[in-house]
Structure 1
Amino acid sequence: MGPCEKMEVFEKLPQVPHFGRLTGCPPELREGKALGLMASFANIAESIQNMRFQEKENIFEEKLRCLSELEEDGFDVRALKERLENLLRIKNRHADLKKMKASLDEGILEKEVDNSSIEQKLMFLEVLIKELELKRLEYQEKKESLVGQKEANCSEISKLQGDVDRIEESFLSAEHDFHITAAAPW
């Protein structure tokens, strides 16, 4: 951007500097220094407009110091300072958000590691459950076998009890027959 285009900033941001610090300078130097300060104002305005997000914080601080110096010579730097401070706030907010994101990403990673450990435990428990189900089936079969044996034994006991009952009847009948036969008349 040429010197004439740079001076267009004064149409958008009109200035009435007093150049108070130049009062002790000889007139020949005063005019050159005044033009230098005007060019500096235009340069800093342009550089603020062209700032990039990646700029380091010290660049912002340096520009704020330059604006303070220009302000001492009567330049109205409020709009530039406000823009610069706003850019710095946005940049700082971005840095804070980046830290928050990093913290959240770390939390996600921790939970994913935790989930991986949980998944391994779940798989181990699944194996144990399957083994227990097989054991349960094995024990269920043993139980059913024992129930079958018990039912067979009960059936056998019932049959044997029937035999015992018949034998007792026969036994009583034999005793009865014995008494009758023994007591029978001759």
Structure 2
Amino acid sequence: LSAETVAVHESIMHTSGSESSAIQQLPIVKTSPLWAQLEALEIFRTTPQRPNLHQFQQHVPELHEGLALGLMISFADLAESINRLGVQDDDELLERKMECLAYLEASGFDVGDLRSRVEALIHMKNSRAELREALRKLEEEIAREEADVLELGTLLRALAMAVRHLELHAYLVRGVIRSAVARRMNNAMEISRLKAEANNLSTAVPR
């Protein structure tokens, strides 16, 4: 277990200078050389831990140290994995991290900073999801408006064509009217001429 593998960025940790040991006094006998490596890790130097090991009382004493080491290593690994999390990670992964933190907190670990980081990521993801949903709705509205514009364009072209047809029809009708008026005037003039001629003939015929 190397310090590089399980070190966690200082931005999510807080310093506790009042502790004399990175891992506070545990009610077990430390015989494994792993303890020295654990105590040298950044996560335990900046945030000393005192897990509750009374849960191990149900096991034989020979297992206590191994179980305690397992918890410590799990905490360090979890801290590193949380530090690597980003908003691109899926919700299920973030929820699993929260469940792990809850378990470690129940075991006496100080997980406040780690939980804050995960909660911040969840909030960011939720905010992004809300923005994506708002953007989706706007895009749908834009698509509807564009469809309306296309439909109105089609309608306007149809109306313009109808107007042209009506104008052509009106032009033809006006031509027919002018022709009818001209014929009527010609007919009236012809009638007047014929009446005048008939009148002349009637005066020329002896009574």
Q: What's the TM-score once normalised by structure 2's chain length?
A: 0.62
Distance 1:17 1:144 in 2: 109
Distance 1:81 1:24 in 2: 29
State the SS of the aligned residue for 1:30.
helix
Equivalence map 1:92-107=2 (5 Å)? 92-107=126-141
What is the RMSD computed on CA atoms of the aligned residues?
3.5
Which residue is equivalent to 2:123?
89
Per-residue CA deviation, residues 46-79 of structure 1 (Å, 9 max, x unaligned), is 1111113332222112111111111122111111
Which residue is equivalent to 2:37?
none
| Structure-2 change in CA distance of 1:144 and 1:2 (3 Å) | farther
Letter in 1 for 2:164: K
State the SS of the aligned residue for 2:127.
helix
Which residue is equivalent to 2:3?
3
Distance 1:151 1:20 in 2: 124
- 1:110 positional shift: 3.1
Which residue is equivalent to 1:31?
65
- 1:143 positional shift: 3.7
Assess if the C-alpha contact under 8 Å between 1:20 and 1:74 holds in 2.
no
Higher helix share: 1
Larger-gyration structure (1/2): 1
Distance 2:172 2:45 in 1: 96
Which residue is equivalent to 1:47?
81
Which residue is equivalent to 2:111?
77
Per-residue CA deviation, residues 6-47 of structure 1 (Å, 9 max, x unaligned), is 221234434343434235555553333223222222211111
Matched, 1:62 2:130: no
| Structure-2 change in CA distance of 1:43 and 1:3 (3 Å) | same
Of the structure 1 ranges 46-55 and 64-73, higher mean CA displacement relative to structure 2 is found in 46-55
- Identical amino acids, percent of aligned pairs: 34
Gap runs ≥5 in structure 2: 8-40
Equivalence map 1:115-130=2 (5 Å)? 115-130=149-164
Q: What's the TM-score once normalised by structure 1's chain length?
A: 0.68
- 1:116 positional shift: 2.7
| Structure-2 change in CA distance of 1:12 and 1:128 (3 Å) | farther
Distance 1:8 1:144 in 2: 104
Distance 1:128 1:81 in 2: 70
State the SS of the aligned residue for 2:85.
coil
